C-alpha cells in the first residue's frame, strides 16, 4: 500500500513538472506566448511606442529605357538615414531582378513535375529550354566622395560593407550604377513586371517594377530583412522621397508613381489643356490621349528620346509603365481632405471596357477605402492595363483583364473590375500601412481583400463576393497539408495560397465585423489600426492588440483558432429537449395527460428525434432553508412559478466537432409560422470546449431549431445543424452544387 502511494506521488510530481514545462494551451488561453512581447517600441495596446523608430531612404534616379535592346540602364543616389539605436557596419540592398537569372534557387518551383500532355509554355517554365538574359549588372558602387565601396551579392540581396560604421542618428549617401535586360512577361510564371510585345503593330508595353536596387528594411523585430525574393513573397521596403528622371522614346507615354514635374516638356499643349480640364471633372473621365492619337503613335517609332520627371513624397517604392500604345484618361476624385487624380492607361486592345470601367473602379476604391481607414493622401491613383495578373505599387498598379475582339463576358468584366479595386486598394495595405509582405503576406493581402470585398459589396452588389461560405472547401481540406494563416508567404503551397492569405483572413475580419464585435465597434477599431500604423511597419501582434484595445473585447480565442491553427468550424446540434413546469395545485397526472406526456418522471427520457412526444414535465420543489446558507431573505417562489406558468423551456445540447470555437446563432421556428434568433457568445465554450448545454424559455411552442442559419461562421457541415434532423441536402451541399454550376 505504501509502495502504491509512493508511485502515485511520483506520478503526480512528474505530471506537475510536465504541466509546468508544457503549459496547457486551451482555446481560450491568451496568445501572449505566440506573439512578440510588448516593449518601448511596440506597446501592449498595439500602438507604436514612444521609442518606436524606422529607417528612411531617399532616392535620386536617372534611368534610360532602350526599346531597341529591351534594357534598362540607371544611376541612383541613395541617402540612407539610420534612425535605429544601433551602429551599422554594413547595409543590405535588394536586387529583385536577379530572381529571373537561370540557376536561381527557386527556379522551376511553381511547375516542377513532368507529365504527358504538357503545353510548350509549361515546359518552358520548367526547363527554360529557350534561354534569355536576366539579372543585374552592377557597374559601380561609390560613396559620396567617389570611392568604390565593397559589396557581396547573395542571390537577390547585396551586402555593402562600410569602411566606418554608420552610427545611430547619422545618414549616409552613396551611389550605384546598374543595368539589366527587361524580361518578356510571357516567359515567366507569376511575372509582375517586364514587357509585353504586340506583334500586330510591332509595339511593346513596358511595366517596370522592382527595377532599381532598393534598401532592405532594418527594424526592431528582425534586424535586417533577410528573406530572398522568390516571387510569391513580395516586398518589405523603407519610406522615402523620390526624384526620378525617366528617358524613353519621344512618342512614348509614361505613367508613374508621383507627380509629373515637366508636363510642358513631355505633353503637347492640347494634352496639357485636357489635363487641366480633368482636374475639375468629377463626374466623368477626360481623354488625355485618345484612341486615334495612340494609333498614330503606334506608327511613328521615334528614334529620338525625351525625359519625364517625377517626384514622390513619403512612398516606399516607385514603378512606371511606358508605351506609345497608351490611351490615357483622367478624372478628379474629391475626398474630404484631398483631391486625387484617378487615371487609366491602356492599349487599344483594352477597349471599350477599360475606357468604361477602369477609372470608375479607381474612384470607387478611393472613396470606400478612404471612408474605412484614412483619406488617400497621394496626388494620383493609376491603373495600367496588362494581359494578366495584378500588381500594386505606390500610386500605380498593373491590372489584368482584357477584352477579346472588344467583348468580355460579365464574369470576366467583374474579374477585371475586382482586380483594379484590389490593386488600387493596396495603396493602403501595404503601401502606407507598411507590413512585411515577404514574411506576413496575409497582413497586406488579407486586410486589403477585406476592404476590396467591402467595396465590391457596396459599389458592385451584383458581383460575387467572398463570404464565409467561400472558405468552406479550403477549411475541409486535408489537415496533413493545410497550414495556418500565420505562415510565411514562400512556405505556403501554391494551391492553398489564395485561400489561406486572401480569403481566410478576409472571412475572419468579416466575422469580427458582422457577427462577433459588431460593425460600429469593429469599424472604429480597424480605422484606429490603420491610422496608428500609416507610414510605419506593423506586425501581426500590433493588429491583434489594436483590435482588442479599441473594442474592449478579448479576441485571443479567435486569433488563436483562426490564425494559428487549421481547425475548422463544425458545430453539431445534438439534442433539443422540451420541458414544462408542473403547476402547483394541479394534478400532475392530469397535467401529463393534457400535454400527452408518456415518460416516467423517475426514468431518464429517451433521446427524442422531434417534438411529437410533447414536453417532459418538471416538478419544482420548495427550496429548503439550509440551501440559503446564512442568507435570511427568501426567493418569491410564487412569483417564480407564475413567471414560468405555461412557458416552454428548451435545453439545447451542442458539440464542437471541428475544434474551432465560435459564437452560436440559434434560429427558432415556431408552430405559428413565426421565427426568431438568439445569439450566444463564444464564451459559452470556456468551461467545456467540446460540449455545452444551454436553456431557453419561450412563450411559443417550437417546431424546429437551426444553428448558424445565415452561414456567418463557415460551418463546414450544415447537415448536423438542425433539429429535427433535415434529410435533404445540407446548405453546404447546395452551395457546392451552385459553385460547380457557376
- pLDDT, one tens digit per residue, over 488-538 is 887 766 678 889 999 999 999 999 999 999 999 999 999 999 999 999 999
Contact 435, 491 (CB under 8 A): no
Contact 255, 396 (CB under 8 A): yes
pLDDT greater than 80 at residue 10: no
pLDDT greater than 60 at residue 108: no
What average pLDDT does the chain have?
Answer: 90
A 10 A CB-CB count for 226 gives: 13
pLDDT of residue 127: 79
**What residue has cell string 514545462?**
21
C-alpha cell at 581: 413546469
Q: Enter the pTM of the model.
A: 0.90
Percent of the chain clearing pLDDT 70 (strictly above): 89
Q: Which value, to the nearest 10 degrees, does the dihedral of the CA atoms of residues 191, 195, 196, 198 take?
A: -170
pLDDT of residue 729: 41
d(C-alpha 463, C-alpha 459), whole Å: 9
pLDDT of residue 77: 98
pLDDT 10s digits, 39-76: 999 999 999 999 999 999 999 999 999 999 999 999 99
A 10 A CB-CB count for 28 gives: 16
Q: How many helices (H) and strands (E) does the chain have?
A: 17, 31
Which secondary structure element, helix H or strand E, spans residue 480, and what is its range?
A: none
Percent of the chain clearing pLDDT 90 (strictly above): 77
CA-wise closest residue to 427 among 444, 441, 415: 444
pLDDT of residue 128: 79
Band (114; pLDDT cuts 50, 70, 90)? confident
Pick the residue with more confidence: 660 or 100? 660
Residue 568, Cβ density class (10 Å: 0-12 exposed, 13-18 middle, ≥19 buried): buried
Mean pLDDT for 183-199 is 85
DSSP state letter for 630: T
Mean pLDDT for 634-642 is 91
Mean pLDDT for 378-384 is 98
Q: Domains of the chain (ranges plus CATH)?
A: 25-53+439-567 (1.10.390.10), 55-238 (2.60.40), 245-404+420-434 (3.30.2010.30), 571-623+634-741 (no CATH)
| Bridge-based pairing state of the strands 194-198 and 203-208 | antiparallel
pLDDT greater than 60 at residue 184: yes
pLDDT of residue 727: 54
Q: How far is CA 272 from CA 267, 278, 288, 330, 348, in A?
A: 6, 10, 8, 12, 22
Residue 62, Cβ density class (10 Å: 0-12 exposed, 13-18 middle, ≥19 buried): middle
Alpha carbon 220 to its chain's center: 24
pLDDT of residue 597: 37
pLDDT of residue 732: 44
pLDDT 10s digits, 591-627: 445 444 333 333 444 567 889 989 999 888 899 999 9
Length of the chain (residues)? 742
Band (583; pLDDT cuts 50, 70, 90)? low
Which secondary structure element, helix H or strand E, spans residue 286, and what is its range?
A: strand 286-289
Contact 539, 36 (CB under 8 A): yes
pLDDT of residue 528: 98
C-alpha cell at 485: 494563416
* Highest-scoring range by mean pLDDT, 160-174, 466-480, 592-606, 616-630: 160-174
Stretch among 122-126, 293-297, 620-624, 705-709 having the lowest mean pLDDT? 122-126
Residue 487 sits at the vertex; the CA angle it makes with 483 and 492, to the nearest 5 degrees, is 65
φ, ψ for residue 344 (rounded to 5)? -125, 140
pLDDT greater than 60 at residue 18: no
pLDDT 10s digits, 346-372: 999 999 999 999 999 999 999 999 999
Pick the residue with more confidence: 685 or 493? 685
Contact 353, 371 (CB under 8 A): no
pLDDT greater than 90 at residue 417: yes
φ, ψ for residue 50 (rounded to 5)? -65, -20
Band (110; pLDDT cuts 50, 70, 90)? low
d(C-alpha 157, C-alpha 104), whole Å: 12
DSSP state letter for 726: P
pLDDT of residue 730: 47
Pick the residue with more confidence: 555 or 25? 555
Contact 341, 359 (CB under 8 A): no
Band (106; pLDDT cuts 50, 70, 90)? low
The stretches of 52-195 forming alpha helices (DSSP H) are 120-127
Amino acid at each position: 500500500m505504501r509502495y502504491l502511494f509512493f508511485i502515485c506521488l511520483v506520478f503526480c510530481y512528474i505530471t506537475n513538472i510536465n504541466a509546468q514545462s508544457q503549459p496547457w494551451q486551451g482555446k481560450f488561453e491568451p496568445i501572449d506566448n505566440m506573439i512578440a512581447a510588448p516593449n518601448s517600441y511596440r506597446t501592449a495596446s498595439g500602438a507604436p511606442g514612444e521609442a518606436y523608430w524606422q529607417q528612411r531612404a531617399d532616392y535620386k534616379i536617372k534611368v534610360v529605357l532602350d526599346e531597341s535592346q529591351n534594357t534598362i540602364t540607371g544611376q541612383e543616389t541613395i541617402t540612407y538615414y539610420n534612425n535605429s539605436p544601433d551602429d551599422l557596419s554594413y547595409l543590405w540592398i535588394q536586387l529583385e531582378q536577379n530572381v529571373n537569372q537561370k540557376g536561381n534557387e527557386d527556379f522551376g518551383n511553381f511547375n516542377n513535375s513532368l507529365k504527358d500532355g504538357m503545353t510548350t509554355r509549361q515546359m518552358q517554365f520548367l526547363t527554360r529550354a529557350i534561354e534569355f538574359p536576366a539579372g543585374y549588372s552592377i557597374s559601380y558602387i561609390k560613396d559620396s566622395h567617389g570611392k568604390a565601396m565593397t559589396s557581396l551579392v547573395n542571390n537577390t540581396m547585396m551586402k555593402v560593407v562600410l569602411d566606418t560604421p554608420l552610427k545611430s542618428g547619422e545618414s549616409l549617401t552613396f551611389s550605384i550604377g546598374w543595368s539589366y535586360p527587361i524580361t518578356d512577361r510571357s516567359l515567366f510564371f507569376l511575372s509582375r513586371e517586364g514587357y509585353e510585345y504586340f506583334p500586330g503593330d510591332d509595339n511593346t508595353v513596358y511595366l517596370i517594377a522592382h527595377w532599381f536596387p532598393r534598401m532592405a528594411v532594418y527594424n526592431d523585430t528582425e534586424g535586417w530583412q533577410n528573406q530572398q525574393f522568390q516571387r510569391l513573397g513580395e516586398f518589405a521596403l523603407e519610406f522615402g522621397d523620390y526624384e526620378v528622371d525617366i528617358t524613353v522614346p519621344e512618342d512614348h507615354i509614361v505613367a508613374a508613381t508621383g507627380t509629373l514635374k515637366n508636363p510642358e516638356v513631355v505633353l503637347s499643349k492640347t494634352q496639357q489643356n485636357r489635363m487641366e480640364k480633368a482636374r475639375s471633372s468629377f463626374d466623368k473621365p477626360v481623354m488625355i490621349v485618345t484612341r486615334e492619337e495612340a494609333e498614330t503613335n503606334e506608327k511613328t517609332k521615334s528614334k529620338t528620346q525625351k525625359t519625364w520627371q517625377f517626384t514622390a513624397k513619403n512612398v516606399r517604392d516607385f514603378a512606371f509603365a511606358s508605351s506609345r500604345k497608351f490611351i490615357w484618361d483622367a478624372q478628379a476624385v474629391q475626398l474630404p481632405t484631398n483631391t486625387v487624380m484617378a487615371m487609366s492607361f491602356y492599349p487599344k486592345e483594352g477597349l471599350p471596357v477599360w475606357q468604361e470601367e477602369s477609372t470608375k473602379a479607381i474612384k470607387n476604391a478611393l472613396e470606400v477605402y478612404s471612408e474605412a481607414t484614412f483619406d488617400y493622401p497621394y496626388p494620383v491613383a493609376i491603373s495600367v492595363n496588362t494581359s494578366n495578373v495584378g500588381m500594386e505599387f505606390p500610386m500605380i498598379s498593373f491590372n489584368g483583364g482584357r477584352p477579346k475582339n472588344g467583348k468580355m463576358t460579365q464574369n470576366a468584366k467583374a474579374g477585371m473590375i475586382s482586380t483594379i479595386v484590389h490593386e488600387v486598394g493596396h495603396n493602403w495595405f501595404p503601401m502606407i500601412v507598411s507590413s512585411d509582405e515577404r514574411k506576413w503576406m496575409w497582413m497586406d493581402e488579407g486586410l486589403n481583400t477585406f476592404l476590396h470585398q467591402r467595396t465590391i459589396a457596396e459599389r458592385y452588389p451584383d458581383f460575387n463576393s467572398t463570404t464565409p461560405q467561400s472558405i468552406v472547401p479550403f477549411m475541409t481540406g486535408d489537415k496533413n497539408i493545410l497550414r495556418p494563416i500565420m505562415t510565411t508567404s514562400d512556405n505556403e503551397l501554391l494551391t492553398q495560397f489564395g485561400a489561406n492569405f486572401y480569403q481566410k483572413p478576409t472571412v475572419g475580419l468579416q466575422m469580427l465585423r458582422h457577427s462577433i464585435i459588431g460593425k460600429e465597434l469593429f469599424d472604429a477599431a480597424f480605422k484606429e489600426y490603420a491610422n496608428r500604423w500609416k507610414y510605419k511597419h506593423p506586425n501581426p501582434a500590433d493588429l491583434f492588440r489594436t483590435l482588442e484595445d479599441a473594442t474592449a473585447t478579448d479576441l485571443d480565442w479567435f486569433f488563436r483558432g483562426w490564425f494559428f491553427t487549421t481547425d475548422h468550424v463544425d458545430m453539431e446540434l445534438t439534442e433539443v429537449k422540451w420541458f414544462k413546469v408542473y403547476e402547483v395545485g394541479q394534478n400532475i397526472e392530469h397535467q401529463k395527460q393534457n400535454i400527452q406526456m408518456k415518460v416516467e418522471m423517475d426514468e431518464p427520457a429517451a433521446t427524442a428525434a422531434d417534438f411529437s412526444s410533447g414536453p417532459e414535465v418538471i416538478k419544482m420543489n420548495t427550496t429548503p432553508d439550509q440551501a440559503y446558507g446564512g442568507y435570511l431573505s427568501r426567493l418569491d417562489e410564487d412569483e417564480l412559478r407564475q413567471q414560468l406558468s405555461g412557458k416552454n423551456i428548451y435545453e439545447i445540447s451542442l458539440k464542437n466537432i471541428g475544434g474551432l470555437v465560435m459564437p452560436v446563432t440559434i434560429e427558432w421556428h415556431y408552430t405559428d409560422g413565426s421565427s426568431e434568433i438568439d445569439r450566444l457568445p463564444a464564451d459559452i465554450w470556456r468551461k467545456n470546449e467540446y460540449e455545452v448545454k444551454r436553456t431557453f424559455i419561450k412563450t411559443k411552442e417550437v417546431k424546429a431549431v437551426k444553428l448558424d442559419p445565415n452561414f456567418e461562421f463557415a460551418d463546414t457541415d450544415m447537415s448536423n445543424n438542425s433539429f429535427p434532423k433535415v434529410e435533404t441536402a445540407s446548405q453546404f451541399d447546395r452551395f457546392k452544387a451552385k459553385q460547380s454550376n457557376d
